Structure 1
Amino acid sequence: MPRTPTIFNEARMRAMMDRKGLDLVIVRGVENSRYISEFFHNGGNLGYRPFCVFYFRDPAKKPAFVVPAVDLHLAMTLTWIEDVRAYAMAEFFTDVDTHFYDDFAGAAQAILAERGVKGMKVGTEGDNLTSGFRTLMDGILAGNSVEDISFDMEMVRMVKTPEEIRRLKLATEITVKAHAAFRAAIRPGATDNDLHRAACLTMLQEGATAVNFINVGAGPANSFAAHDPFPRGYTLQHGDFVKVDMGAQVLGYSADFVRSYFIGTASQRQQDIWKWLNEVQLELCAWIRPGVTGGEIFDRGYKHISKYLEKFPREFLGHGIGLGSHEQPRMNAVNRTVVEPDSVLCVEYSYYCDGVRHHTEETFHVHATGNDHWTKDCPRELIVKV
């Protein structure tokens, strides 16, 4: 029975295609193909195993979805797209009694021929595609005009549907609880493995469908690191710096925010830096609203922090979040993307001092009249008393 998309914003997609005069959009990138098809496939990152959506502006030309044969039945079950086709990959036949194309190109050519794709304006992901796949598509699309719509797809995905917002909010709420468990485990004698384990278990116990990432910095070995993906078995000591950047995942959508701590004591300079970073960050979060650009957010936030810390080292001060960890609007000096209602944003500040990297990050949902600060209740006191 046909179903209506709940993640894919079809109206926003059609508006983009109307604006650019596109007849057809073909996406093969992992995030974009998941977004349109709503099938959260594994393996699309492999160059030889594409999952590819063909989406037409003309509603009389139905969309099509091409997948490896091994994933056909699950794709047919989970996508809203009715025309799902498979090419031989991993298996030559399955429990689905249907024709398998010899390769992806055969399936793609059949779809284009059946839909009468000739002399059309076609959007693809351009330079974001692997060189081999791009060469293949250039040949298949000969006789059509091809345009790179990578940025345009970012703009389509920037504004979230209610279901996307639900998943992101739940992922953030779970990650707030994981941060609390992480902080509670900080004490001399514990290891970074103990902290990592506490956060992971809490995420899963609270309903996360996956642990997307946990980057722990603890002690002299990696207190300077932005993203150290593995605990090192380090035993915490009084006075150590501890930082964690983490995100629980709910049905393909992950949270992303950061807290930093000192065990028992911190210098006045460290306390001042942390106070300034949080003060400026919270003010900036409260100010952001629909209609401002990524560049305006950066300019305001950079000007404010520069009152306290000269030559601030950040190239950007935040990003959108969704299926990807960093989406539009990217908040840097040159970004002119306009924030729209139902964007979900992260604002982050970091600063190096005496061998440690202070890092704080917040997540919030922008709506028509302002924003909801999802991480406001996550403690941000710098010193953990032991």
Structure 2
Amino acid sequence: MNNRIERLRELCTNKGLDGFIVTKPENRLYFSGFCGSSGLLLVTGNDAKLLTDFRYVTQAQSQAPDFEIVRHGVAILKTLGQTASNLEVKKLGFEMDYVTWADYQAMERELSGIELIPCRVDELRMMKDEAEITALKRAVFIADQAFSHILKYIRPGMTEREVALELEYTMRRLGAEKSAFDIIVASGVRSSLPHGIASEKIIANGDFVTMDFGAVYNGYHSDITRTIIMGQASDKQRQIYEIVLQAQLAGVAAVQPGRTGKQIDEVSRSIITNAGYGNYFGHGLGHGVGLNIHEEPRLSPGGDTMLEAAMTVTVEPGIYIPEWGGVRIEDTVVVVSAGCEVLTASSKQLIQVER
């Protein structure tokens, strides 16, 4: 954890800050190791304090050994104000993309005489260390195993929700803390919905079935999408699937240090556009993944972050044709010096499930 705290201190130095308060749960966990539901961090050049309440003092002492634990009373901001004043903090950074207007006003009231400076710190989490990548690999493995199981389980006549429930149960049974997000199971014409959360629709022969899901392990999220066909695929289904597959493979091959998210997105997007389906691919190619399911960097037409080794991203092109259906294929990958390592192991070839 010391490395992470030092990078936060470096940010403070660069911004001319005396300290930083961390309130976003993912960032609190990242910098301290504390996973309780209540508390905040105050980091200065020489001090690192974790403010929490009676319920979490013992847990915080165990999980955040690099921090001095400060038990606050009824009002955490009042304790923060007293602590910051004792440390002679005059300029204090806060998470501009997490703190609400109401929270900011409350901080202004309680931190009298301290100038509050909006900053972004989520970018400090883009580069993953060895422990983070190990957790991500386990989360990906759990999702891969769940997909293998679902191929034996799914059959015509089931509802999308039954399939989603089985995916979630299987991941939990394999060691996931929870599902990474609301599981998407979209079949038939509903597979044209990029975020078609599982419904009571009955899965039928001839349906595309798009399943987008992931596991959380030690706080880290995996993200996989596979589209299968129930029964025999039609010629058009095969054609659309092959276009998306080629776009996905090209996108994965394009992931390497020194390229921006925009450049990688264009590699995949051009394949779909040149095939005549550009208007049916309306989202970015991928996103960073870690303690959040969606984080920086972004692989999209607006993605200007240059990739570096140890970043983890998804690659997930799709084609979605209203009233017909759609296909998305997604892997989680980690950027390495020579390109990227694909963590997702599930087959990307068109799978026809015949029962």
| TM-score, scaled to structure 1 | 0.84
Is the 1:9–1:161 Cα contact (8 Å) retained in structure 2? no
For the structure 1 residues 223 and 304, does the alpha-carbon distance in structure 2 shift closer, same or farther, using more than 3 Å as the test? closer
Once residues 296 and 261 of structure 1 are traced to their aligned partners in structure 2, the CA distance between those partners, rounded to angstroms, is 29
- Which of 10, 19, 39 is the equivalent residue of 2:34? 39
For the structure 1 residues 290 and 23, does the alpha-carbon distance in structure 2 shift closer, same or farther, using more than 3 Å as the test? farther
Give the CA RMSD over aligned residues: 2.2
Percent identity among equivalent residues?
Answer: 27
Once residues 125 and 308 of structure 2 are traced to their aligned partners in structure 1, the CA distance between those partners, rounded to angstroms, is 11
Deviation digits for residues 59-99 of structure 1 (CA, Å, limit 9, x no counterpart): xx211111233222222221234322233xxxxxxxxxxxx
Give the C-alpha shift of residue 312 in structure 1.
Answer: 4.4
Q: Which moved more, 1:10-19 or 1:353-362?
A: 10-19
Q: Give the secondary structure class of the aligned counterpart of 2:317.
A: strand
Question: Which residue number in structure 2 is paired with residue 103 of structure 1?
Answer: 75
Q: Give the secondary structure class of the aligned counterpart of 1:223.
A: helix
Is the 2:180–2:223 Cα contact (8 Å) retained in structure 1? no
Give the C-alpha shift of residue 340 in structure 1.
Answer: 1.3
Q: Give the secondary structure class of the aligned counterpart of 1:123.
A: strand
Listed as ranges, the matches of 1:123-162 within 5 Å are: 123-150=93-120, 153-162=121-130
Q: Does 1:22 align with 2:17?
A: yes
Q: Which moved more, 1:246-255 or 1:127-136?
A: 127-136
- Which of 245, 255, 262 is the equivalent residue of 1:278? 245
Is the 2:229–2:353 Cα contact (8 Å) retained in structure 1? yes
Give the C-alpha shift of residue 172 in structure 1.
Answer: 0.2
- Which of 81, 85, 89 is the equivalent residue of 2:70? 85
Question: Which residue number in structure 1 is paired with residue 262 of structure 2?
Answer: 295
Q: Does 1:357 align with 2:326?
A: yes
Question: Which residue number in structure 2 is paired with residue 321 of structure 1?
Answer: 289
Deviation digits for residues 184-227 of structure 1 (CA, Å, limit 9, x no counterpart): 2222233434423432333233222323332212345x434333
Question: Which residue number in structure 2 is paired with residue 96 of structure 1?
Answer: none
Structure 1 residues without counterparts, runs of 5 or longer? 45-50, 88-100
Once residues 300 and 17 of structure 1 are traced to their aligned partners in structure 2, the CA distance between those partners, rounded to angstroms, is 37
Q: Does 1:55 align with 2:43?
A: yes
Q: Which moved more, 1:288-297 or 1:351-360?
A: 351-360
Is the 1:295–1:336 Cα contact (8 Å) retained in structure 2? yes
Is the 1:176–1:378 Cα contact (8 Å) retained in structure 2? no
Is the 1:294–1:336 Cα contact (8 Å) retained in structure 2? yes
Q: Does 1:240 align with 2:212?
A: no
Give the C-alpha shift of residue 316 in structure 1.
Answer: 1.2
Question: Which residue number in structure 2 is paired with residue 250 of structure 1?
Answer: 217
Q: Give the secondary structure class of the aligned counterpart of 1:36.
A: helix
Q: Does 1:216 align with 2:185?
A: yes
Deviation digits for residues 4-39 of structure 1 (CA, Å, limit 9, x no counterpart): x28x73343344334333331111122222221211
Give the C-alpha shift of residue 379 in structure 1.
Answer: 4.2
Amino acid paired to 1:375: T
| TM-score, scaled to structure 2 | 0.91
Once residues 55 and 295 of structure 1 are traced to their aligned partners in structure 2, the CA distance between those partners, rounded to angstroms, is 35
For the structure 1 residues 17 and 299, does the alpha-carbon distance in structure 2 shift closer, same or farther, using more than 3 Å as the test? farther
Give the C-alpha shift of residue 141 in structure 1.
Answer: 4.1
Give the C-alpha shift of residue 368 in structure 1.
Answer: 2.0
Question: Which residue number in structure 1 is paired with residue 341 of structure 2?
Answer: 372
Deviation digits for residues 293-336 of structure 1 (CA, Å, limit 9, x no counterpart): 11222222222321112334324111000101111111222221
Give the C-alpha shift of residue 142 in structure 1.
Answer: 4.4
Q: Does 1:206 align with 2:191?
A: no
Q: Give the secondary structure class of the aligned counterpart of 1:239.
A: coil
Once residues 52 and 85 of structure 1 are traced to their aligned partners in structure 2, the CA distance between those partners, rounded to angstroms, is 10
Once residues 176 and 334 of structure 2 are traced to their aligned partners in structure 1, the CA distance between those partners, rounded to angstroms, is 20
For the structure 1 residues 241 and 334, does the alpha-carbon distance in structure 2 shift closer, same or farther, using more than 3 Å as the test? closer
